[in-house]
Amino acid sequence: MPLTDLFSRTISYLRLSLTDRCNLRCMYCVTEEESTGCLTKLKHDELLTYEELLRVVRVAVAMGITKVRLTGGEPLVRRDVMSFIRALTRIEGLSDVRLTTNGILLERFGQELFDAGVTKVNISLDSLHPERVEQITGVNCFHQVWRGIESVLALGFTPVKLNMVVMRHINDDELLDFARLSQNMSIQVRFIEFMPIGESTRWSADTFISTDEIMDRIRVMGDLTPLRKDRSDGPAQVYRLGEKSVGSLGFISPLSHHFCNRCNRLRLTSAGTLRSCLLHDAEVDLRKVLRSDSDDAAIREALLEAIRNKPQGHRLAERMHRSGSDCHGRMSRIGG
Ligand code: SAM
């Protein structure tokens, strides 16, 4: 029996924020003060242990979860992450384990990830100019990330997806350069609408660019032909640019064409809370359940409670003309 919510959506996808720590300080994740000073982080014992995470995933898989994505923060900075990932991919019934990473440690971990069975990676990269990457992330890391991308392509990861958050006046002059990558490389370049998330957001109606505008601007390079979506495309609408591209373009429109009616996700934040919508602050405290000597039935009940709480939609578009955000969590804690 598939796991369904109150609106008949099948819930089959669990995103785990392994840690709120990150080796970058991206401008949309931290506040201006934090970009130069101290970041508030969870204490070590506030994170779920690997044993606790594995236990939750085992229960969730028995209930109908088939796909897990590791995110954060930066998942690859958590100590001994590979032994956790190896144990995770061995869980019976879990056929699909993926990773979202900033790519800095991919060159180092690529082979081990591949051998463990994680062959689908999304890499975040918001600019192809090294100085601009440094401005956006606070770290001079472009070349390291690029080597990471090349190494996973050489290892045979598929699909490899490159996520660009499109921000007006910040990186939108690079739309065509990113689109061009899909013509020559076997990757899916994904353009993500900038969302107003958390206290730290630099989001404004002015920096926001809709998918329709992004597509119109890219069409000067050639036709965009819709491709049939496959299971790994998630909420992206996928196109091929021109006739001969080896890769594809994905467009993710959480604001302009939201996909709440198809949302199959549940999140486990790095603080051990279950969250059924990225943009809705309601959470169920699973860490408390895990640390109260409960049996697996209590974990199951917590997962069901979170699924029952899953809102029908996020109403983000209605907030477009208000400043601030109704989603107050930090993206790195929630798991982007
Ligand atoms: N460290 C990993 C990484 O960089 O991919 C995983 C965590 S990061 C928070 C996950 C994704 O969320 C990144 O692709 C990032 O660009 C995206 N993201 C963060 N804040 C965003 C926002 N306000 N709007 C749209 N995407 C956002």
Q: Residues 240-253: what's their mean pLDDT?
A: 96
CA of 124 to the centre of ligand 1 (A): 7
CA of 297 to the centre of ligand 1 (A): 33
Smallest CA separation from ligand 1 atom 23, residue: 195
Ligand 1 lined by 16 (C-beta under 6 Å):
no
Ligand 1 pocket test: which of 163, 203, 275, 330 has the largest number of ligand atoms within 8 Å of its C-beta?
A: 163
**Is residue 92 within a helix (H) or strand (E), and if so which, with residue range?**
none
Topology at the third CATH level for domain 13-334 = TIM Barrel (3.20.20)
Asked whether residue 199 carries a pLDDT value surpassing 80, the answer given is no
Amino acid type, 45 = D
Ligand 1 pocket test: which of 124, 267, 332 has the largest number of ligand atoms within 8 Å of its C-beta?
A: 124
CA atoms within 13 A on the CB side of 328: 3
Distance CA 292, CA 155 (A): 43
Q: Residues 129-155: what's their mean pLDDT?
A: 98
- Strongest mean pLDDT among 39-43, 167-171, 280-284: 167-171
> β-strand 265-268 against 13-17: which pairing, if any?
parallel
pLDDT band at 333 (very low <50, low <70, confident <90, very high): confident
Q: Considering only 32-46, 146-160, 214-228, 312-326, which range has the smallest mean pLDDT?
A: 312-326
Q: Residues 265-274: what's their mean pLDDT?
A: 97
Distance CA 233, CA 41 (A): 32
Task: Tell me the CA distances in angstroms from 319 to 205, 252, 315, 322, 324, one per residue in order.
Answer: 10, 18, 7, 5, 9
Which residue has 């209930």 as its token pair?
63
* CA trace torsion 85, 86, 90, 94 (10° rounding): 20
Ligand 1 lined by 22 (C-beta under 6 Å):
yes
pLDDT confidence of residue 117 = 97
DSSP result, 98-128: EEEE-STTHHHHHHHHHHHT--EEEEE---S
Domain ranges of the chain: 13-334
pLDDT band at 327 (very low <50, low <70, confident <90, very high): low
pLDDT digits (tens, 9 = 90+) for 13-42: 999 999 999 999 999 888 777 777 777 889
Asked whether residue 320 carries a pLDDT value surpassing 80, the answer given is no
Asked whether residue 287 carries a pLDDT value surpassing 90, the answer given is yes
Summary count for the chain: helices (H), strands (E): 12, 12
Ligand 1 lined by 5 (C-beta under 6 Å):
no
Smallest CA separation from ligand 1 atom 11, residue: 336
pLDDT confidence of residue 332 = 80
Which residues, in sequence order, are bridge partners of residue 97?
A: 68
DSSP state of 4: B
Ligand 1 lined by 197 (C-beta under 6 Å):
yes
Please enumerate, as own/partner, the contacts of 288-294 that have beta carbons within 8 Å and a separation of 24 or more.
290/48, 290/52, 290/55, 290/56
Q: Which atom of ligand 1 is nearest to the CA of 74?
A: 1
